[in-house]
Amino acid sequence: MSNRERFVGLRRSLTPRERAALYAAQDGLCGCGCAAPLSDIEGVIAEHTIPVMLGNRDKPDSLWRKPCADAKTKLDLARIAKAKRQARETGQQARRARGTTKAIPAKRNPWPPKGARKIASRPFPRKPRIDTSETDD
């Protein structure tokens, strides 16, 4: 069962009376703080301050304009993804915990082990030395 299926039953909607009470409490302004008036033309969405996926079990607590709600949802999705990563529900740690991933094999080192290969110390021929100790006088 996915998280989405798990939380579908937890989403509670507002009754028309509760929606009207929220509208009156907000003086007909957007709940995000932008002070724009709510209008049915733009669309009005009931929003949770804390997303349901992050543990909110209550009904929506404010009315937002659709553009503001879309921006908040985008931020909420990032917060939810981060919370899942930190709880190790997704990503590499979750796959390791489930045992569905294998270790990445190490690449073979193409170089011989240390000390196994001699390095040529003189890749060029030696110059003949001139012996200056024996001089003919």
In this predicted structure, what is the pLDDT of residue 77?
A: 92
pLDDT digits (tens, 9 = 90+) for 107-116: 888 887 877 7
How does residue 134 score in pLDDT terms, banded at 50, 70 and 90?
A: low
Confidence at residue 42, expressed as pLDDT on a 0 to 100 scale:
84
pLDDT band of 99, cuts 50, 70, 90: confident
Residue 95, phi then psi, degrees to nearest 5: -65, -40
pLDDT at 98 over 70: yes
Domain locations in the chain as residue ranges: 3-96
Mean pLDDT rounded to a whole number for the chain: 81
- 67/72 Cα distance (integer angstroms): 9
- Give the tens place of pLDDT for each residue, 22-31: 899 999 999 8
CA distances from 81 to 4, 55, 70, 84, 127 (A): 13, 14, 17, 5, 71
Q: Provide the CATH topology of domain 3-96.
A: His-Me finger endonuclease fold (3.40.1800)
The alpha helices in the chain, defined as continuous H runs, are 3-8, 16-25, 66-86, 92-98
Q: What is the pLDDT of residue 9?
A: 55
